[in-house]
Amino acid sequence: MTIRYAVNQHITAEQFIGLLKETTLGGRRPVDDLERIQGMLDHANLIVTAWLEDKLVGIARSVTDFNFCCYLSDLAVSESIQASGIGKELIRRTFLELKPSCTLNLLAAPQAVNYYPKIGLTQHNSAWILADIAALK
Dist. CA 135–CA 66, nearest whole Å: 31
pLDDT digit string, tens, across residues 31-72 = 999 999 999 999 999 999 999 999 999 999 999 999 999 999
User: Which one-letter DSSP state was computed for residue 68?
Assistant: S
For 63, what's the count of Cα atoms within 13 Å in the CB-facing half-sphere?
7
pLDDT band at 11 (very low <50, low <70, confident <90, very high): very high
- Going from the C-alpha of 104 to that of each of 70, 73, 98, 134, the distances in angstroms are 5, 10, 9, 29
H/E stretch holding 65 reads: none
Which CATH fold would you assign to the domain 3-135?
Answer: Aminopeptidase (3.40.630)
Q: Which amino acid is at 47?
A: I
State pLDDT tens for residues 89-115. 999 999 999 999 999 999 887 777 888
